[in-house]
Chains A and B, each alone.
Chain A
Amino acid sequence: MTRARNLAIGLLALIFVASLFANFFAPAPYAAQFREFVSAPRSHRFWLGTDDLGRDRWSRLLYGTRISLLLAPAAALLSTVMAVVIGGIAGYAGGWWDRIVRRVIDVFLSIPWLFLFLIVRALLPLNASPFASVAITFTIMGLIGWAPAARIIRAGALSLRNSDLVLQARACGSTGPRLLFVHIAPNLKPVICAQFWIAIPTFILGEASLGLIGLGVAEPLPSWGNLLRELVNPRAVAANPWILAPLAVLVVVVSCFQLLLPEKEFAS
């Protein structure tokens, strides 16, 4: 298992570095349209061929990876922090606060987010730059993605609150913040970390799904979502298998993140 995790770390590091320094590795700007080479096959000039606007797929994959890999962890961090605050306090405090939070979580889990996302996107300022639009997309995903993690963290906090460990700490005179931050929070760390790592691939796939219906990252900025839109046409995939490259990178990255989950989480 350790060897697999090391391999995952190595692969992730390689992909991170390649995408972070896309300016050096990409042979062309991601938006440049080579209109005389539309849907060109793989060649020395275009390593993965060109898309249907004549843009170099390899360059777009590097820049798209950078965007998805930087913003997905940020959104995951946002949703995890919200989940810790809301779920952790609900589990620790109990009573009416816990009842309210449980209802709010139920409501959040039952809302059809796709439609809400359509509405929110329609309300956004029109002149948001492509980068602002991608940042907003991931922020919205972060803001609405906290509920499943909050439910798990609440359950963990609730079980710790009633545990012998906390009972003993109370008997020793620990109360309030000390009890929360010194005794409960460290014991929740594996659960919190697991939720964070799980959220990253979820958000990557979420953005990819939005990209498939044309609501992801705005043109001309590439992301895995809009790169994966090319796969909608199965015949094109058969004719140009190299358009599977974004999917391959996505599978590798998501698999690596899954391998990085704490071992305790695997055991459970």
Chain B
Amino acid sequence: MKRLLVSFAMTAATLLAQWGGELRFCLRSDPKTFNPLLVDDEASETIRYLTGGVLIRVNRLTQELEPELAASWKISRQGRVITFQLRRGVSFSDGTPFTADDVAYTIRALMDPALHSPTGDSFRSAPGGIATNISAPNQITIAFPAPVAGLERLFDQVAILSSRSPRKAPPVLGPFVVARYTPGTEVVLERNPHYWKTDAGGRHLPYLDQIRLDIQQNREIELARFTRGELQLINTIDPEMFTRLARQEPALVRDAGPSLESEMMWFNQNPMAPLPDYEKIWFRSQNFRRAISAAINRADLCRVVYYGHAQPAAGPISPANRSWFDARLQPHGYDPKDALDRLRRDGFHLDSGVLRDRDGHPVEFSLITNSGNKARERMAAMIQQDLAAIGIKLNIVTLDFRSLIERISQSFHYEACLLGLTNYDLDPSSQMNVWLSSAGDHQWYPNQKTPATAWEAEIDRLMQAQAATVDREKRKTYFDRVQEIVSDQAPFLYLITKNSLSAVSPKLHNAAPAMISPQTYWNAEYLALAPAQLARNAR
């Protein structure tokens, strides 16, 4: 129904919109690369999204897969093989035809170990090569050495390269091409004259002639330019600015609901960490972790720090991820009495307002977070007051990001850490590096030789089981169980899930902000400017 309404709105708006014009918005930094296979930063991802043609696209609004350059596809041999039927009559931006050779060339380049492609890493399910077989000019089969869970979704990130065109200015299959890049100033994209899509009326897409991406780090300046009408959208806006803008111009702001970004804290459970033994005992206790979780008022964090534009988080998967979110999970409730009960079960007791363990050590620990992140610093200050209410002294330490990463991944010299998490990939297989006990990003105790606890062993087993099958129902059952264990054991205390906030000019038609990235320009080929904006651009 939602999809139908959006389609209707787009069609209606299209009638009002005109072809042409320039859309302007900001990138927060220079793109690190224009090679779509090497993208690992937000600015480069924006360029890839707007210029790259992909075989399959995840619709950001419905989160369903949609055919793009592949007219259809079929997965066989338990997720080891995928066969694409390619769309006919498609050309690159330089006019050369798109064929199965281009897909084979892209896959070979993507999986070249010398390239170190971050996108290619997602396809590496097991050691061994990936074989491509072109059975017809518009049909290609790709075979993997082992099943790849959520295989088809991974192709959303793979922009197809041309096997015949020059390397210096490679042609693209997406709606726009890079026309000009001035470092530190702007990237200008122009419409791809050979783009294959047409709208319902048969008009060639995209509607826009040009997209100008101004490189602007300062978010205040970005907001000021947006309110002056110089920019037509802000893809993500922080809650404080959102609230301010909403007071001035309520029609300009859009809250699309929970995003994929969450904030969490965890305790250092690494037995080799240079911490006193009694602290290690605290941190390894499920009761202690759950008590801390119960003592934190998540509703206040959402209301005070995020101005109401966040939700208390229940687990590792945000409600924005409709396919994998476990709706049965509830956020840990704020209950200081329950917190103290749990602590008493572990021998803790209150002594003149100070919580002490069974050996009399006062409960005091530090929480590290990165300096300069105002929201995180405010959350830490609120957690400090919440924990003080149950007799725990929390010391907040803000560190520059490199020092923080060094502590949590190398020296393990920290007690608790507060950081954020963004899942760009919706599929749980992308989180293997977090949940497997042997993984480096298993933050509370990374790189374990054998699972330290029975519940971590169970998570290992479930994650491997979900990755080894293509049965969607089975995978969901396995991963739901992982989420339940994580919620129960609380190795990560999930605090809040931020809402997806953006600002869109009413002069920009067909914008339908989504919960997942890119929130506002996911349907860039359908975006159109109102006649008034076109006249302003012309001036």
Contact = CB atoms under 8 A, between A and B. Distances in A.
On whether the two chains bind one another, the answer is yes
Interface of A: 31, 33, 35, 38, 52-54, 118-119, 121-122, 126-130, 213-215, 218-220, 233-235
A128 B403 CA distance: 17
B185 interface: no
Contacts of B244: 235
A219 B372 CA distance: 13
A120 B404 CA distance: 13
Contact of B304 (A35, A126, A129, A214): A35
Given A31-B385, A35-B300, A127 B403 contact: no
A130 B397 CA distance: 9
A130 B380 CA distance: 14
B366 A213 contact: no
A245 to B, nearest CB: 20
Interface of B: 220, 240, 244, 300, 303-304, 364-366, 368, 371-372, 377-378, 380-382, 384-385, 395-400, 403, 413-415
A214 B401 CA distance: 12
Contacts of B400: 118, 122
B220 A234 contact: yes
Interface class of chain A by DSSP: loop
B437 to A, nearest CB: 26
Given A127-B365, A214-B372, A235-B244, A121 B399 contact: yes
B368 A126 contact: yes
Contacts of A53: 304, 378, 381-382
A219 B381 CA distance: 6
Contacts of B413: 126
A127 B413 CA distance: 11
Given A118-B403, A218-B396, A33 B382 contact: yes
Given A33-B382, A213-B371, A234-B220, A218 B304 contact: no
Nearest to B307: A38
15 contacts: A33-B381, A35-B304, A53-B378, A122-B400, A126-B397, A127-B395, A128-B395, A130-B395, A214-B371, A214-B398, A215-B371, A218-B398, A219-B377, A219-B380, A220-B384
Contacts of B396: 218-219
Contacts of B382: 33, 35, 53
B385 to A, nearest CB: 5
A38 B303 CA distance: 10
Contacts of B415: 126-127
A125 to B, nearest CB: 9
B384 A219 contact: yes
Contacts of A127: 364-366, 395, 415
A119 B400 CA distance: 9
A52 B304 contact: yes
A122 B403 contact: yes
A249 B205 CA distance: 60
Nearest to B386: A33
B366 A126 contact: yes
Contact of A220 (B300, B371, B381, B397): B381
Nearest to A218: B396
A122 B384 contact: no
A33 B385 contact: yes
Nearest to A38: B304
A46 B398 CA distance: 29
Nearest to A32: B385
Contacts of A129: 395
Contacts of A122: 399-400, 403
B414 to A, nearest CB: 6
Contacts of A119: 403
Nearest to B373: A214
Nearest to A239: B244
Contacts of B300: 35
Contacts of A220: 381, 384-385
A38 B308 CA distance: 12
Contacts of A233: 220, 240
B61 to A, nearest CB: 33
Given A33-B385, A128-B395, A235-B244, A213 B372 contact: yes
A129 B414 CA distance: 15
Contacts of B399: 121-122
B371 A218 contact: no
Nearest to B399: A122
A63 to B, nearest CB: 15
A129 B397 CA distance: 10
A31 B377 CA distance: 14
Nearest to A232: B374
Contacts of A214: 371-372, 377, 398
B249 to A, nearest CB: 14
Contacts of B395: 126-130, 218
Given A118-B400, A122-B399, A233-B240, 11 more contacts: A35-B382, A53-B304, A53-B378, A119-B403, A126-B366, A126-B397, A126-B414, A129-B395, A218-B398, A219-B381, A219-B396
A54 B301 CA distance: 12
A129 B396 CA distance: 9
B304 A54 contact: yes
B234 to A, nearest CB: 16
Q: Count chain B CB atoms within 10 A of each CB in A126, A214, A234 and give the residue with the most.
A: A126
A132 to B, nearest CB: 9
Q: Count chain B CB atoms within 10 A of each CB in A118, A122, A215, A233 and give the residue with the most.
A: A122
A152 to B, nearest CB: 33
A35 B300 CA distance: 8
Contacts of A31: 385
A96 to B, nearest CB: 39
B397 A218 contact: yes
A52 B364 contact: no
A84 to B, nearest CB: 34
Nearest to B406: A122
A54 B303 CA distance: 12
A191 B252 CA distance: 60
A235 B384 CA distance: 29
Contacts of B365: 127
Given A53-B304, A234-B220, A235-B244, A215 B398 contact: yes
A-B CB proximity, top 6 nearest: A214-B371, A122-B403, A126-B366, A219-B381, A219-B396, A214-B398
Nearest to B224: A235
A118 B398 CA distance: 10
A52 B385 contact: no
A132 B397 CA distance: 12
